[in-house]
Structure 1
């Protein structure tokens, strides 16, 4: 091989290496680039519209364009095998001329080293590097390869189609159906798995994944799964007065009560709303709740939550009665029950104090944050302390500091409750331990 031939072969090898790397990069860019990302870029006007349109067409016809990249990779491999091995072997043999090896030995060593060196270069330069680049930045690589790949596809279109038809025919001979773009549909489990990976990689917020999981679960649940069971259902009778129901509200805190006939939970006539009751109580609280009755709808237990929500929106009602298979009352569902399925438990005014501030210990005591308000403290422990009303403090920590000389591990008794200061930092009570007072304990200072 003359010097001129060697130089031209090296130039051809370099071009073929670049071409092979291009087709591998294009292949992985096609696979990694999401259709939704291209559509979003087109809608927002980001990037070259023509390139984005062609790229979207390629992703929508993925099999066809992947076949095009395979043709390019195969052609490059054939050329490298044809020219590359002989050229590299010649170059290695020229270097080995300085060794005492014979001609046959030099050609044998050159052939082995040539194959190894060419394979190394081919794997690294034309496979691993372009693959990693396309995986790392698929959109950017897609925009780089889209135009040349488009023209290469046009040039080799008949040959690509022949390959696709031939491959589809062989696959059908095995009784299988050739893959199409429509087969590339993700299941819920796959979507969640990809989303978890996105959270781990920092591309998706953890809360977004939680809402996604809840949304999938939401569509799989029925009314029976989220209802308040009839055994826990608080109702009022149609013959009750407004005053009676307002008293029920003050005791239990519910803003809506189903109204029944003869105290029979299977005969729900409607519901009353506390706003209507209080407004009426200002005028005359002796009238019967039948005068303030609002319509309530009923649904079977097997009603999907999605359908139930649509009915509640359409009928403009925040509460429905769930019926069992015999037509009896199985329970009720409120709008709060539904949105808690999506957003988690949301505590309102009638719920217990947040577990962030009051934590029950295994031994029956409670760990109380100093930031707990006096009102929440009374509400949680069902006490009413007059000195709380007279205090200028809002929190339990403020009240104790206002009325006592507090140190760490001090125990103060308030209304049959022993409050022990467990964490006292910078003249502020962070946490207390609360237990029911036991008489044989040493008494704490009296309240002021």
Structure 2
């Protein structure tokens, strides 16, 4: 009896030893690089050990597998061999022969030990290690590190063999784990229970902004209020205070010749307003950005330089429009309005289901308002799409059909489509049988 208890105790011990290695492997493998770096900075020596193991997975994986394999082998082989002999005599009264009872006892003990090993040596430690990866990594990391040092020759041989097989299978032994994709990161953010709806929306806007260029959010040159560099300050000040802007780009002969910008406070300075000072003499330097500059990159540049207004240049060097710090920030946090902003509704919804929108609405905003996705093309706005489809300057009444909808040009200002209506196209007429 004492021998059986000793054997059971040894089996339990081997299973527990195996569970330690399994938990260590799971914790270290599931640990993200950012978590490992944080542990190295904030958790002292243990944190640095964990970060070192995280950077060299071959070393700790080989150590762990040696421990798991040995403990599993010893628990199964030793336990089944010794406990089966103790169990066999209890099966003979059931009518089994001596050889049959020994075989049945061996099979039974193997199944029992396998079950115990699977539950307590594999599944439970893995589940716990996944739930508390940092804690398990800090607790078991030094043990794995010490074992890897002691068994370095064995690990070297195993690593060499592993690298050889990986190369034969077409893999790269030096490759790191795959980086998290944008879609995976968005899914994590969207499903994180600690984030509220507002926080999720802001983060989603940041992800979307990362894919956009400033030409998608700029104010086109046709909508920009420029100041003539040769205009007297007193004349320019009257023009400036009639508009809701605080900064104005200054031009010479045309909108393609922007020499700087002025702040409305410069124009209202009592020291210059009564003198014959020209606007061009007061112009400050202005930042010029290519219209393909990523939105977040442009925001970083403007924040670093302390600039609130920039000129957007097209591929030919001409002025495509302007972009402000407020325009870029609004892409992240939504509309920002002050007491001087004019409340203009760009979208009108009719009871019939028709929707009227501004012709300068960009593709993403148009999809948000109407649910219709404009196809990819050499344009950024609804007006650009209509011009591309018609092959000419649109006129009021022009109609373009898309995805079962009709986009009708309502008004045109100069050569720019200012207003369009989106309606559901009627189904095609079916000829009645004669």
Same-fold status (TM-score > 0.5): yes
Alignment of 1:103 with 2:94, yes or no, is: no
2:411 corresponds to:
none
By how many angstroms is 1:69 displaced?
A: 0.6
Instruction: Please give the alpha-carbon distance, in whole angstroms, between the structure 2 residues aligned to 1:60 and 1:332.
Output: 46
**Unpaired segments of 5 or more residues in structure 1?**
365-448
Aligned residues: 352
By how many angstroms is 1:170 displaced?
A: 1.9
1:115 corresponds to:
110
2:193 corresponds to:
202
Write out per-residue CA displacement over residues 324-344 of structure 1, whole angstroms, 9 at most, x where no aligned residue.
233322111222223333433
Task: Say if 2:233 and 2:273, in contact at 8 Å, map to a contact too.
Answer: no
1:258 corresponds to:
249
Write out per-residue CA displacement over residues 186-209 of structure 1, whole angstroms, 9 at most, x where no aligned residue.
1442xx524633552435566665
Task: Say if 1:195 and 1:204, in contact at 8 Å, map to a contact too.
Answer: no
1:13 corresponds to:
11
The verdict on how the C-alpha distance between 1:143 and 1:256 changes in structure 2, with shifts beyond 3 A counting, is closer
1:165 corresponds to:
160
The verdict on how the C-alpha distance between 1:281 and 1:347 changes in structure 2, with shifts beyond 3 A counting, is farther
Superposition pairs of residues 20-169 of structure 1, within 5 angstroms: 20-44=18-42, 46=43, 49-169=44-164
The verdict on how the C-alpha distance between 1:197 and 1:311 changes in structure 2, with shifts beyond 3 A counting, is closer
1:186 corresponds to:
179
Task: Say if 2:234 and 2:273, in contact at 8 Å, map to a contact too.
Answer: no
By how many angstroms is 1:53 displaced?
A: 2.6
**Corresponding residue to 2:215 among 215, 221, 224:** 224
**TM-score, structure 1 as length reference:** 0.67
Alignment of 1:237 with 2:228, yes or no, is: yes
By how many angstroms is 1:29 displaced?
A: 1.5
Write out per-residue CA displacement over residues 164-188 of structure 1, whole angstroms, 9 at most, x where no aligned residue.
10111122223332154xx125144
Alignment of 1:279 with 2:272, yes or no, is: no
Write out per-residue CA displacement over residues 18-45 of structure 1, whole angstroms, 9 at most, x where no aligned residue.
111111111111112344334434534x
By how many angstroms is 1:68 displaced?
A: 0.8
SS of residue paired to 2:268: helix
**Corresponding residue to 1:327 among 317, 339, 355:** 317
**Unpaired segments of 5 or more residues in structure 2?**
353-434
Superposition pairs of residues 391-430 of structure 1, within 5 angstroms: none
Instruction: Please give the alpha-carbon distance, in whole angstroms, between the structure 2 residues aligned to 1:57 and 1:286.
Output: 70
What is the RMSD of the two structures over their aligned residues, measured on CA atoms?
3.4
By how many angstroms is 1:104 displaced?
A: 4.2
By how many angstroms is 1:363 displaced?
A: 4.6
Moved more, 157-166 or 251-260: 251-260
**Corresponding residue to 2:172 among 163, 169, 177:** 177
Instruction: Please give the alpha-carbon distance, in whole angstroms, between the structure 1 residues aligned to 2:326 and 2:311.
Output: 14
The verdict on how the C-alpha distance between 1:287 and 1:155 changes in structure 2, with shifts beyond 3 A counting, is closer
Write out per-residue CA displacement over residues 90-145 of structure 1, whole angstroms, 9 at most, x where no aligned residue.
34434334434443443343333223222211110101111111111112222332
**TM-score, structure 2 as length reference:** 0.69
The verdict on how the C-alpha distance between 1:144 and 1:326 changes in structure 2, with shifts beyond 3 A counting, is closer
Instruction: Please give the alpha-carbon distance, in whole angstroms, between the structure 2 residues aligned to 1:332 and 1:287.
Output: 25
Task: Say if 1:32 and 1:135, in contact at 8 Å, map to a contact too.
Answer: yes
By how many angstroms is 1:163 displaced?
A: 0.8
By how many angstroms is 1:65 displaced?
A: 0.4
Instruction: Please give the alpha-carbon distance, in whole angstroms, between the structure 2 residues aligned to 1:218 and 1:250.
Output: 32
Superposition pairs of residues 290-369 of structure 1, within 5 angstroms: 290-305=280-295, 308-309=298-299, 312=302, 317-352=307-342, 362-363=350-351
Instruction: Please give the alpha-carbon distance, in whole angstroms, between the structure 2 residues aligned to 1:221 and 1:83.
Output: 64
The verdict on how the C-alpha distance between 1:201 and 1:120 changes in structure 2, with shifts beyond 3 A counting, is farther
Instruction: Please give the alpha-carbon distance, in whole angstroms, between the structure 2 residues aligned to 1:83 and 1:253.
Output: 86
